Amino acid sequence: INFIFQDMGIMDIYHYLIDEISDPRVSDWPLMSNPFGVILISLAYLSFVLYLGPLYMKKRKPYALIKTMICYNIFVATASAIIFYGLLTSGYTTHLSMGCEPFVISNDSMSLSMARWVWWVLILKITELADTVIFIFRKKYNQISFLHVYHHTVTLFLAWITCKYAPGGMWTFIMMPNCIVHVIMYIYYLCACLGPKMQKIVAPWKKYVTRLQLIHTDIWNSAFRVICSYTRTSLWLQRSCNSITGFSRGIEKFRKRCLQNHMCSRRISIRFAFERNSEGQGDGWMKARSTVFN
């Protein structure tokens, strides 16, 4: 990377990353000509989650939003299933394997179809930011962890990077298990919205949904195994973001395991949640703190 950027100015680097090494087929698509659209969306999301949303809900009662959640969960589950089918039938049922498939820029119908479905993955990731928005309006602040916000923000950029630089080959395989997991997750969330009776029925399945998410993470990590050589220069960002995500999930799992099993004499709990401030700052004040206790 240092060798590539040597003796290049800021605008030269920008032109190199955005124009020279990107996929020219997607450059005219919505949100794909430059990263500013996705950056603005993520900044708007973070601004709402960290400040504007809690400020709006400060003196208001939580909204129920039952019908909204039912419609939203049906939409995301259905969209995830459709995108899975689109990705699968755009090469994996014919000539693509699930191994180290190189990315090749081609204008044949199958390759263009794959690129279009990758773009729809990006749109779906933008839609899924509504998860946190719903939590805000329902004042479910305990569900808005640091990892939750981090995950939604990073996956949005990962989807954009993939669509911009490599909407094909092995970089699309990891999207398929993600779609399947999301189908199952949002069907579970849908059932949980349908009243106390249904909640009791699906409650025993919660642990299996969690395990499925962890298995999906392992599949994600395996897709980036070192024996696969990167076919696009800029995709080292994918690997870096993926490593950070895995590390963060590992910390979160370790913390929860320590708290549940009482096996750690000293535990570090990193909390990133909305809670009432004893000094009178209100329900919506965001506090990020680290507590060490015995």
- Give me the phi and psi of 58, to 5 degrees please: -55, -45
Tokens of 53: 């949303």
Q: Buried b / exposed e across 78-98, counting CB within 10 Å, b at 16+?
A: ebbbebbebbeebbbeeebee
Contact 151, 107 (CB under 8 A): no
Tokens of 27: 């450059």
Tokens of 259: 């708290």
Contact 51, 136 (CB under 8 A): no
What span, in angstroms and rounded, lies between the C-alpha atoms of 16 and 19?
6
Is 95 known to be catalytic?
no
Contact 274, 144 (CB under 8 A): yes
Pick the catalytic residue: 15, 95, 148, 151? 151
Instruction: Decide the pairing of beta strands 267-274 and 286-293.
Output: antiparallel
What span, in angstroms and rounded, lies between the C-alpha atoms of 89 and 101?
16
Half-sphere exposure for 251 (CA within 13 Å, toward CB):
12
Q: Which residues are designated catalytic?
A: 151
